[in-house]
Structure formats: structure tokens, C-alpha cells
Structure 1
Amino acid sequence: MFVAAEEGGGGGQLLIPPVAEIIVGVVAFGVVLFILAKFVFPRMELMFQARVEAIEGGIAKAEAAQAEANQLLEQYKAQLAEARTEAARIRDEARADAEGIRQDVLAKAREESDRIIEAGNQQLAAQRESIVRELRSEVGTLAVDLASKIVGESLADEARSRGTVDRFINELSAGTGGR
């Protein structure tokens, strides 16, 4: 390198390094450059490439994971919508079934009510018929008893009347015969 002489001493001479030193420096620089180019730069390039691939692979994996997550989210939303639709259909079917069961129960209750009313009416008619029969029997018995009492008194009255008539006739006969 160029070195300037001291200001106090001599003139302004430049010191030029010897040529051998320059040649050794250039050769050393070439060797270092060759070693760097042959061994260090390719390894650095490989490391940089590996890092680039790792980063790009990470990005690609992240994008793939994001795409898969989006796809799963869409599937989840579709399944959720399908489940809601299915739940609504099941609710509607349950309501329809409940209404059908309600109508069946009401129809059976009406039939049972009609049957009970009919059975009650039949039982009432049978009891009325039985009571009418009993009353007829009692009325007939009472009528016969009453008729026999009336006829008996009438017959007794008639016998009394005859007795009275006979006595009167006997008295009349006795009165005419004795005079």
C-alpha cells in the first residue's frame, strides 16, 4: 500500500510496496477465493436453498393446512345445515305423529264415551223395563186383592141383602100367616 513519508523528515515520497509482496497477496487472495468458491459458497448455496425450500415447504404446508381447514369448515357447515334440516324434518314428523296420536286418542275416547253412554242407556232401559214389570205385577196383585175385597164385600153384602130380603120375606110370610 501506499504510505506517505513523515512530514517532518524528507520530501513527500511515496512508499511503494515491493512487487513480491503484491504477487503473494494476489496469489493468497486467489487461493482464498478458490477455496471459498469451491467449498464455502456451494455449501452456503445449499444451505440457502435448503432454507428456501424449508420456508417454501412450510408456506406450502401452511397453505395446504389452511385449504384443508377451509374444506373441513365447509364440510362442517354442510353437515350442520344437513343436521338442522334433518332435525326440522324429525320435529315436523314428530308433530304430525303427535297430532295423529292425539286424533286417535280423541276418536277412541269418543268411541268409549259413546259406548259407555249406549251401555248406560241400555242399562237404564233394562231397569225401566224391570221396574215396569214389577209395577205391573204389583198393580195386578193389588188389583186382584182389591177386586177380591170388593167382590168379597159385594158378595157378603149380597148375602146380607139376601139374608135381609129372606128375613123380610119370612117376616112377611109370618105376619100374613099369623093374622
Structure 2
Amino acid sequence: MGPLEPDLIELILGLLCFLLVFVILAKILLPRIGKTLAEREVLTEGRLELAEEVRLEAERVRAEYQAELSAARHKALGIRQSAREEGAALLAGVRAEAQKVREELVAASAAQLEAERVIAEAELREGVLALATELAGRIVGEPLTDVERNRVIADAFFADVDAGADTAK
């Protein structure tokens, strides 16, 4: 007997053992394995559906977030623009007020300078009149006491000087 000529009893015994293992596998183990695989497939499908629902919900939330973010950016842009416009208006108002104050100060200063010039000119004319009267008295050799006449002569002289200054301009 060799491997090519097996013993008939051993062959039948091997065949019976094979059929017994096949029946046990087919009737007991394979249905259990099939049932377990089916349960896993149902669980996997359920989780896939749940995952798809979660993904769709996440996309919806993301779209809402993007819309809110866009609206917030638009609102911030509007706020910045209105702040710029308000700042420009305030700046223009402040500049106008400052210009008005400056013009008032310049006008007040010019009036004050003119008043001081008139006062200084009057004081200078009085001083020149006194010096001229004293000098004329020295030249003549006697004091000139007619103050009113001296004032009329001096006023006529200053009027001629002012007229010459006005024509020179």
C-alpha cells in the first residue's frame, strides 16, 4: 500500500470524518459566522449613515458660520466706513472752528495793533512837537510860548508828511 493505493477502511474513515466536520461547519459554525457578519454589516451601515448625517450637519453648521462671518465682516466694514466719515466730519468741524478762532484772534490783534499805533503816533507827535518847539526857541533865541500856534504849524507839517507817504504808496 502506498500513497497511490490507500487502504479502503482508512479512506472511508477519512471521508466520514471530513463529512462530519463539513456538516458541523455548515450547520453550526457557518450560520453563526454569517449572522455575526450580517450584524457587523448592519452596524457598519448604521454608522456610515450616522457619519453621513453628521457630515451633512457639519456642512450646514459651517455654511451658517460662513454666512455669519460674512455678515460680521460686512457690518465691520460699514462701521469702519461710518467711523471714517464721522471722523472726517468732526475733523472738518474742528478745523472750521479753529479757523474761526484764528480769524477772530487776527482781527483782535490787528485792532489792538492799530490802537497801539495810533497811541504811539500821537505820543510821538507830541514829543516831536515839544522837541521842535524847544529847538525853534533855541534857534530864535527866545522861548516860543504860543502852544496853540505851534500845534497848528506841527499839525500842518504832519498832514503834509502823511499826504506824501500816501502818494508814495
Which interval holds the TM-score relative to the shorter structure? 0.5 to 0.7
The alpha-carbon deviation at position 147 of structure 1 amounts to 7.7
Aligned counterpart in structure 1 of residue 68 of structure 2, from 66, 75, 83: 75
Who is 2:101 aligned against?
108
Aligned counterpart in structure 1 of residue 30 of structure 2, from 1, 16, 36: 36
Aligned residues: 127
* Identical-residue share of aligned pairs (%): 10
The alpha-carbon deviation at position 108 of structure 1 amounts to 1.8
**What is the CA–CA distance in structure 2 between the aligned matches of 1:65 and 1:44, rounded to whole Å?**
31
Spell out, residue by residue over 1:64-116, the C-alpha distance to the aligned partner (whole angstroms, 9 max, x if none).
11111101101100110110010011001110111011112211211221122
Who is 1:148 aligned against?
142
User: Aligned to 1:133, what secondary structure does the other structure show?
Assistant: helix
Aligned CA distance change for structure 1 residues 147 and 50 (closer, same or farther; 3 Å) = same
Who is 1:99 aligned against?
92
Q: Write out the 4+ residue segments of structure 1 that deviate beyond 6 Å after TM superposition.
A: none
**What is the CA–CA distance in structure 2 between the aligned matches of 1:29 and 1:45, rounded to whole Å?**
21
TM-score, scaled to structure 1: 0.60
**What is the CA–CA distance in structure 1 between the aligned matches of 2:143 and 2:90, rounded to whole Å?**
76
The alpha-carbon deviation at position 45 of structure 1 amounts to 1.6
| Uncovered stretches (5+) of structure 1, i.e. residues with no partner | 1-20, 151-179
The alpha-carbon deviation at position 31 of structure 1 amounts to 6.5
Pairing 1:65–2:75 present: no
User: Aligned to 1:148, what secondary structure does the other structure show?
Assistant: coil
